[in-house]
Amino acid sequence: MDLEDVRQAGFAAVEKAAAFLRSRFNQPHSVKKKGAIDLVTEADEYAERVIIDTILAVYPDHSIFAEETGHVAGSSSCRWIIDPLDGTTNFAHNLPCFCTSIAFAADGETLFGVVENPVLGERFWATRGKGSFLNGKAISVSSVPRLQDSLLATGFPYNLKTIMDTLMARLRSCLDLSQGVRRFGSAAIDLCYVACGRFEGFWEQNLNPWDTAAGALIVREAGGVVTDFAGRPHQDDMKEILATNGRVHDELIRLIGSPDAPIGAP
Mean pLDDT of 191-196: 99
Mean pLDDT of 138-163: 91
| Start-end of CATH 3.40.190.80 domains in the chain | 147-256
Residue 32: per-residue pLDDT: 61
The topology under which CATH files domain 147-256 is D-Maltodextrin-Binding Protein; domain 2 (3.40.190)
Please state whether beta strands 78-86 and 63-66 pair in parallel, antiparallel, or not at all (unpaired).
parallel
The CATH architecture annotation of domain 3-139 reads: 2-Layer Sandwich (3.30)
Number of H helices, E strands in the chain: 7, 15
Buried b (16+ CB within 10 A) or exposed e, 164-185: eebbebbbebbeebbeebeebb
Residue 258: per-residue pLDDT: 54
Which residues contact residue 229 at a Cβ distance below 8 angstroms, ignoring those fewer than 6 apart? 203, 205, 240, 242, 253, 256, 257, 263
Per-residue pLDDT tens digits for 112-136: 999 999 999 999 999 999 999 999 9
| Start-end of CATH 3.30.540.10 domains in the chain | 3-139
Question: Which range, of 130-139, 207-216, 253-262, averages the lowest pLDDT?
Answer: 253-262
CA nearest to 204, candidates 171, 177, 231: 171
Residue 135: per-residue pLDDT: 98
- In the predicted structure, residue 263 carries a pLDDT above the cut 50: no
Please state whether beta strands 151-154 and 180-182 pair in parallel, antiparallel, or not at all (unpaired).
parallel
Residue 266: per-residue pLDDT: 31
* CA–CA–CA angle 193, 240, 92 (5° rounding): 60
- In the predicted structure, residue 103 carries a pLDDT above the cut 80: yes
CA nearest to 89, candidates 181, 13, 187, 20: 187
Q: What is the pTM of this model?
A: 0.92
CA nearest to 99, candidates 201, 214, 6: 214
CA distance 162 to 66: 26
% the chain with pLDDT above 90: 78
- In the predicted structure, residue 33 carries a pLDDT above the cut 70: no
Tell me the CA end-to-end span of the chain in Å, nearest whole number.
Answer: 42
- In the predicted structure, residue 160 carries a pLDDT above the cut 80: no
